[in-house]
Amino acid sequence: MDQRTACDLGRAIGAGQVNAVELVEDFLDRIDRHPLAARIYARITPGRARAEALNAAARAKDGRRRGLLDGVPLSWKDLFDSAGVATEAGSALLQGRTPVRDARVLREATLQGSVCLGKTHMSELAFSGLGLNPVTATPPCVNDSGAVPGGSSSGAAASVAFGLAPAAIGSDTGGSVRIPAAWNDLVGLKTTHGLLSVEGVVPLADSFDTVGPLARSVEDCAALLGLLAGRPAPDLTGASLTGARFLVLTTVAQDDLRPAPAAGFDRAVARLSAAGAHVTEAAVPAVAEAMGLAAVLFTAEAYGLWRDTIEAAPKKMFPRILDRFRSGAGFTAPDFVAAWRRLARLRADWAAATAGFDAVLVPTSPILPPQADRLLTDDAYYVTENLLALRNTRIGNLMGGCAITLPTGEPSCGISLIAPPLAEARLLRLAAAAETALR
């Protein structure tokens, strides 16, 4: 299987070593032949892909390439609107929903020359970190054929991990880029809320929804950030950990760690320290209180957005996802407003406590990917694993920052770096240096 990164492929196109048309045909052929492709891709867009690749090849021949990723194929999570192609967000509630125009980030990526391979399966309406979806499809996990892949950008991660796309675009509301990236040994970037447009993106909770890439390298994530934003990618040249200051968060993030994630995290932290970083452990009490607000903040908004659609046909939903949405009905408008006001103060406390550090380190997930069959039959197991899956990633969303997960070398175990809002360029430079140390 070709393991070249998206940037490697882009450089090969620029050097005349790879033809964009031949490249997209190779990926379409891989998808057509792969036995698990139907669990990864909800829909393929071969006509669009071929047309975009043909244009990219012509630009390359004439010396008119629009950027490093011009001609590179990407997969898109099935909540990004795509003109004339169904966008159903993993839910029977939206079956047949076909937008007339692309989501803004897809339009921007297309203008920059990327090639759309198709739309990937996802957790139903993006409301689960597990990636289990008996309504449409549950994508595979690259490290365990019986396990879920993480969600909600589950097919996005699987498309890259199984070699059916060089990179993927997903979304992250509480960890939906970082969990599937970690469980499939990829790099996943959660961007600052509002940095990238969510116009034309099926929402879950508008106050937290973000767009982000999943890829094989930090360089890819930086290039994809530039592609989606329509501006130059952050410069990673000369990235170093010498003198970097990291805070290992002990509040909440270290609780109930399973052995493999704990071992992977500890080894990763040791390698960062050996590469020149200064590492300090500390508690940040604001995190524990913020976690207590998560239920009202996420579920109330999600149910408010989806209540009418859900209650018109609730039997179309996976019951456990339906129950999660409906839990938002138990909160009042004053509860929601008070929670947001309190979170604003807690974010200020977090910013003050972490101001002296370049990034905060946490295990991306405290657990390994759970077993799919058991999740369907064991209610207690489902509840426990679902709550733990997104616990650590949710810290970054609640605190309003940007974050990135990197593979630790332990299968399905990631380490996350959390940085302040709009600090993506600095975070990516740190992550590039950390990636080198971890490899």
Instruction: Please identify every residue annotated as catalytic.
Output: 77, 152, 176
Total length of the chain: 439
User: Which residue carries 């071992």 as its tokens?
Assistant: 263
CA 411 – CA 384 distance, rounded (Å): 21
120 contacts: CB under 8 Å, gap ≥ 6: 40, 41, 42, 75, 76, 77, 78, 139, 153, 154, 155, 156, 158, 159, 168
CA 85 – CA 378 distance, rounded (Å): 36
Question: Residues 369, 150: contact at Cβ < 8 Å?
Answer: yes
* CB burial readout 142-172, b (16+ within 10 A) else e: bbbeebbbbbbbbbbbbbbbbbbbbbbbbbb
CA 73 – CA 343 distance, rounded (Å): 39
Amino acid identity at 101: R
CA 179 – CA 122 distance, rounded (Å): 13
Beta strands 278-282 and 245-249, pairing class: parallel
> DSSP characters for 321-334?
HHHHHHGGGGS-HH
Give me the phi and psi of 67, to 5 degrees please: 165, 180
CA 233 – CA 229 distance, rounded (Å): 9
> DSSP characters for 221-253?
HHHHHHHHHTSPPPP-TT---TT-EEEEE-TTT
- Locate the DSSP E strands across 144-225: 168-172, 187-190, 210-215
CA 84 – CA 213 distance, rounded (Å): 23
> DSSP characters for 122-138?
-SGGG--SS---SSS--
Q: Which ranges constitute the DSSP H helices of 67-134?
A: 104-111
